[in-house]
């Protein structure tokens, strides 16, 4: 669509979402670990960049906090008196710089795609419609607003709770998807005419349709059949269904791009994850956020990655958990490894079972293969961290760093009490508690000398 300055958009995200039974505002409910609202905004942003506003109200602080980059594009609706009131509130803030057309999108339709929205807005503007909205035809019309037509022409929308067959005639299966394109000069004058005399006692945006039709304005319902991408989410069951739909779509897209996904029905991949052709992923498995997976990477079953990069040919074995981590080319991770934020494995490093890392770097080819904690640590190239090594990074008040030089060898069951430095090529004896620097190429050992004493056999009278 040719986007010019005549179009702005507002996404309604002020409602509580009572039917979700959750303390989280509905638009922050995640689908594949991305808040519902992010999907709607990314469909709308390309149409009118910088002019997609978000109406917030219930737990506005949380919504703002989740989208700090959109500061300046929020509009507050302090009381949520319904979608008609939402539109009037938004207009109060937009009228200083009024757009000719306003796209209004319910924040709870996350599967809406940019191309659908662009085609809808483009058509509405080309045909100079005063009010158009997207409708669907569903077998089960649920709680959706029902579209009323006479002789094929749209007459209005009646909310499910207000529908009365005797007054409105039999249901025709056509429902309102909650996405509208308004020619503001024609529609804004109708806003004060919206009342709240309905079962919910709310001001409904949908009343505009009957008001406009009765005045002979050009009203159109753009019917998109039974496209499941357009149904709003109001309940946990609807969220779960939409998430599953999206999950399958994303997995199919990666399969189509040459990613081998085994047991695809149990693989969950976030919408912004990038995976190169030739990666090999086995479900069940979850990959979210801004994760990047290179060609030749293998991810075995039961792994969870969030905002993690795996470079070419890295191998993640089963049951690993990685968050904000970088795993270099050819590394081997797991099984059962945990990479917390700030974990970096340089090329060819190995991190084995029951090893936890946090803000720590394993240098090129370094190995920590068993039962260790490396927190706030630097491990040099080719160093070997023995089983049971712990960096004691926290003294109860502050965190301190451990530096282990290239080629160092840390014996099993060592406690490195930070801040502490182990020099290049140094060796630390097994079972040591190291509290002072070990210079390069020296042996550091701190443990009680072993003694072997004869056992005294106690006489029965002393027992």
For the bound state, the minimum distance from the C-beta of residue 106 to Mg ion, rounded and expressed in Å, comes to 6
261 binds, among ligand UD1, Mg ion, none (CB under 5 to 8 A by kind): none
Nearer to Mg ion, 194 or 387 (CB): 194
Stretch that binds Mg ion, among 225-233, 280-288, 290-298, 340-348 (CB under 5 A): 225-233
Of 156, 232, 348, 405, the residue at the interface with Mg ion (CB under 5 A) is: 232
For the bound state, the minimum distance from the C-beta of residue 144 to ligand UD1, rounded and expressed in Å, comes to 3
CB 192 within 8 A of CB 207: no
List, in order, residues 6 or more apart from 443 with CB less than 8 Å away: 426, 427, 428, 429
Tell me the CA distances in angstroms from 278 to 258, 295, 380, 453, one per residue in order: 6, 5, 31, 62
For the bound state, the minimum distance from the C-beta of residue 238 to Mg ion, rounded and expressed in Å, comes to 9
CB-closest chain residue to Mg ion: 232
Q: Provide the CA 255 distance to its chain's centre, in angstroms.
A: 21
Of 83, 176, 234, 414, the residue at the interface with Mg ion (CB under 5 A) is: 234
CB 44 within 8 A of CB 3: no
Chain contacts with ligand UD1 (rule: CB under 6 A): 12-15, 26, 55, 57, 77, 80-83, 85-86, 106-108, 143-145, 157, 159, 175-178, 204-206, 232, 234
Task: Determine the size of the site formed for Mg ion (CB under 5 A).
Answer: 3
Question: Taking CB under 5 A as the rule, does residue 159 contact Mg ion?
Answer: no
**Longest C-alpha distance within the chain, in Å?**
113
Instruction: State the catalytic residue, choosing from 53, 254, 350, 370.
Output: 370
Stretch that binds Mg ion, among 144-152, 228-236, 293-301, 424-432 (CB under 5 A): 228-236
- Of the candidates 183, 185, 205, 186, the one whose C-alpha atom is nearest the C-alpha of residue 194 is 205
309 binds, among ligand UD1, Mg ion, none (CB under 5 to 8 A by kind): none
Nearer to ligand UD1, 73 or 81 (CB): 81
- Of the candidates 451, 412, 417, the one whose C-alpha atom is nearest the C-alpha of residue 430 is 412
Specify whether 321 is catalytic. Answer: no
Residue 456, SS3? coil
- The angle subtended at Cα 216 by Cα 215 and Cα 222, nearest 5°, is 115
For the bound state, the minimum distance from the C-beta of residue 234 to Mg ion, rounded and expressed in Å, comes to 5
Nearer to ligand UD1, 197 or 462 (CB): 197
- Of the candidates 103, 111, 98, 91, the one whose C-alpha atom is nearest the C-alpha of residue 45 is 103
| Distance in angstroms (rounded) separating the CA atoms of residues 389 and 100 | 66
CB 122 within 8 A of CB 114: no
CB-closest chain residue to ligand UD1: 145
13 binds, among ligand UD1, Mg ion, none (CB under 5 to 8 A by kind): ligand UD1
| Distance in angstroms (rounded) separating the CA atoms of residues 70 and 57 | 15
252 binds, among Mg ion, ligand UD1, none (CB under 5 to 8 A by kind): none
175 binds, among ligand UD1, Mg ion, none (CB under 5 to 8 A by kind): ligand UD1
Relative to beta strand 174-183, strand 101-106 is antiparallel
Question: What is the token pair recorded at 236?
Answer: 């946990």
Nearer to ligand UD1, 83 or 132 (CB): 83
For the bound state, the minimum distance from the C-beta of residue 221 to Mg ion, rounded and expressed in Å, comes to 18
82 binds, among Mg ion, ligand UD1, none (CB under 5 to 8 A by kind): ligand UD1
Of 33, 108, 323, 356, the residue at the interface with Mg ion (CB under 5 A) is: 108
List, in order, residues 6 or more apart from 66 with CB less than 8 Å away: 28, 35, 37
For the bound state, the minimum distance from the C-beta of residue 381 to ligand UD1, rounded and expressed in Å, comes to 53
| Distance in angstroms (rounded) separating the CA atoms of residues 198 and 195 | 8
For the bound state, the minimum distance from the C-beta of residue 191 to Mg ion, rounded and expressed in Å, comes to 21
| Distance in angstroms (rounded) separating the CA atoms of residues 418 and 316 | 29
| Distance in angstroms (rounded) separating the CA atoms of residues 335 and 317 | 5
Residues that bind Mg ion (CB under 5 A): 108, 232, 234
Catalytic site positions: 370
């Amino acid at each position: 669509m040719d986007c010019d300055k005549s179009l702005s958009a507002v996404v309604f995200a002020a409602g509580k979402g009572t039917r979700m039974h959750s303390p989280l505002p509905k638009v922050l409910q995640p689908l594949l670990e991305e808040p519902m609202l992010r999907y709607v905004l990314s469909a709308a942003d390309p149409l009118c960049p910088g002019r997609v506003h978000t109406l917030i109200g219930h737990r506005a602080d949380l919504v703002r906090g989740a989208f700090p980059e959109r500061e300046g594009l929020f509009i507050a609706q302090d009381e949520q008196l319904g979608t008609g009131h939402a539109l009037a509130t938004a207009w109060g803030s937009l009228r200083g710089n009024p757009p000719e057309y306003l796209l209004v999108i319910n924040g709870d339709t996350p599967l809406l795609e940019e191309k659908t929205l662009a085609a809808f807005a483009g058509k509405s503007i080309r045909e100079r419609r005063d009010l158009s909205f997207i409708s669907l035809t569903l077998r089960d019309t649920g709680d959706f607003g029902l579209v009323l037509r006479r002789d094929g022409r749209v007459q209005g929308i009646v909310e499910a709770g207000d529908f009365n067959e005797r007054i409105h005639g039999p249901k025709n299966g056509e429902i309102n998807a909650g996405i509208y394109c308004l020619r503001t000069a024609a529609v804004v004058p109708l806003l004060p005419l919206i009342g709240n005399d309905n079962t919910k006692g709310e001001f409904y945006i949908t009343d505009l349709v009957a008001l406009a039709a009765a005045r002979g304005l050009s009203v159109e319902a753009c019917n998109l059949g039974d496209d499941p991408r357009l149904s709003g989410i109001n309940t946990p069951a609807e969220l779960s269904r939409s998430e599953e739909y999206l999950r399958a779509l994303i997995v199919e897209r990666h399969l189509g791009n040459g990613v081998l996904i085994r047991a695809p029905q149990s693989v969950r991949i976030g919408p912004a994850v990038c995976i190169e052709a030739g990666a090999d992923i086995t479900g069940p498995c979850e990959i979210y956020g801004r994760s990047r997976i290179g060609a030749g990477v293998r991810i075995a079953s039961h792994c969870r990655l969030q905002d993690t990069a795996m470079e070419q040919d890295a191998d993640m074995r089963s049951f690993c958990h990685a968050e904000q981590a970088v795993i270099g080319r050819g590394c081997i991770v797991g099984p059962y490894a945990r990479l917390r934020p700030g974990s970096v494995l340089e090329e060819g490093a190995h991190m084995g079972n029951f090893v936890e890392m946090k803000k720590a770097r394993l240098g090129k080819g370094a190995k920590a293969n068993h039962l260790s904690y490396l927190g706030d640590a630097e491990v040099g190239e080719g160093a070997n961290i023995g089983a049971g090594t712990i960096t004691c990074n926290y003294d109860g008040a502050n965190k301190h760093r451990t530096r282990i030089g290239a080629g160092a060898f840390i014996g099993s069951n060592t406690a490195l009490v930070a801040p502490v430095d182990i020099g290049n090529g140094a060796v630390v004896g097994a079972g040591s508690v190291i509290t002072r620097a070990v210079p390069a190429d020296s042996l550091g050992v701190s443990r009680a000398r072993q003694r072997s004493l004869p056992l005294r056999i106690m006489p029965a009278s002393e027992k």
